[in-house]
Homo-oligomer: A and B are copies of this chain.
Amino acid sequence: MRSRSDVLETAILGLLKDSPLHGYELRKRLNLVLGSFRALSYGSLYPALKTLVTRGLIIGTESSEAPSAALAPALSGRRSRIVYELTAEGKEHLQQILAQAGPAAWEDENFDVRFALFGQTDVETRLRILEGRRTRLTERLEAVRESTTRSRARMDEYTWELQRHGLEQVEREVRWLDGLITAERDRGARPTGSANDHPVSRHHTTADGDRRPGTER
C-alpha cells in the first residue's frame, strides 16, 4: 500500500526533523529544495499535512504566542498558526525512509529531496544513492545516444541541437555526481574532517540524542 511518490511527505518530515514549523513557513523552505525554484501550492501542502497528522506522524499545535522565544524581539502577538512537529512514530518513519538506498531513492522524482536530506543520512547510504543515480544517468545517456545515432538522419538541426544540449546537461550532472562521490569517499576515509568550507550553523533546538553514527560531519 505504501509505494506512492511520497516526495512531499519525505520533504515535510525531513524539514520538521530539524525544527518545528507552521505551514506557511514550511512552504518557503520546501520551495528551496523541492524542484529547485518552483512554488509548491498550499492546495498541496495543507492536505498533505492533514494526512500526516491523521497518520500520527506529526502533530500540530495551535500557538498564537511564541512558546519560549526570548531571542528575537518585536514578535509578540502573531496571528494564531499551527506549528507542526514530528511525533515519535514520525521520527522513526523518517529514519526508515532515510535508510532506504534502493532505486526509489535515486529516481528523478525523489533524488533531490533525498540529497537535500543527506545531512541526516549516513555516509554509506549517501554513497549508495549517489552511485545509484550515477549509474542511472549513464544508462539513460547510453540509451539516448544509441537511439539518437540511429535516427540522427531524420532529425533537423534544431531537434538535434536540443538533443545535444540535453545530453550535455546530463553529462554535466554525471560529472557533478563524480565530484560528490569522491568527496564522500574522502569523508569516509578521514571521518573527522577539518576541511569544512562554511560553518554549518548547527542549532537544532530540540533535545534529541538519536543522531546515528556516521551521520554527522
Complex CA distance for A38 and B161, rounded to whole angstroms: 17
**B118 and A37 within 8 A (CB):** no
A window 166-203: CB within 8 A of B? 166, 169, 172-173, 176, 180, 197-201
Closest residue on chain B to residue A201 by CB atoms: B153
Residues on the B chain within 8 Å of A140, using CB: 37
Residue with the highest number of chain B CB atoms closer than 10 Å, among A37, A153, A166: A37
Please pick, from B151, B197, B199, the residue contacting A158 in the complex, using a CB distance under 8 A: B199
Q: Which of B32, B160, B197 contacts A151 (CB 8 A)?
A: B32
Taken together as a complex, chains A and B put the C-alpha atoms of A206 and B66 apart, in Å, by 52
Q: Per a CB cutoff under 8 Å, which of B118, B161, B166, B197 touches A199?
A: B161
> Are B144 and A36 closer than 8 Å at their CB atoms?
yes
Q: Given the known inter-chain contacts A37-B144, A119-B156, A169-B172, please indicate yes or no for A161 contacting B200, CB distance below 8 A.
A: yes
Most buried by B among A112, A147, A153, A158: A158
A171 to chain B, nearest CB (A): 11
Contacting A162 at CB < 8 Å: which of B116, B161, B169, B172?
B116
Chain A facing B: main interface SS: helix
Residues from chain B with Cβ under 8 Å of A154 in the complex: 201
Give A144's nearest chain B residue, CB to CB: B37
| Max chain B C-beta neighbours (<10 A), residue from A156, A199, A201 | A156
CB pair B169–A169 under 8 Å, yes or no, is yes
B157 touches A200 (CB 8 A): yes
Contact between chains at B116 and A198 (CB < 8 Å): no
Interchain CB contact under 8 A, A158 and B36: no
Chain B residues whose CB sits within 8 angstroms of the CB of A157 once the complex forms: 119, 197-200, 217
Residues of A within 8 A of B (CB): 32-33, 36-37, 112, 115-119, 140, 143-144, 147-148, 151, 153-163, 165-166, 169, 172-173, 176, 180, 197-201, 217
**Other contacts beyond A36-B166, A158-B199, A160-B198: 16, CB < 8 A:** A32-B151, A32-B159, A36-B144, A36-B163, A37-B143, A112-B162, A115-B162, A116-B158, A116-B162, A118-B158, A119-B157, A119-B159, A153-B201, A157-B199, A161-B198, A169-B169
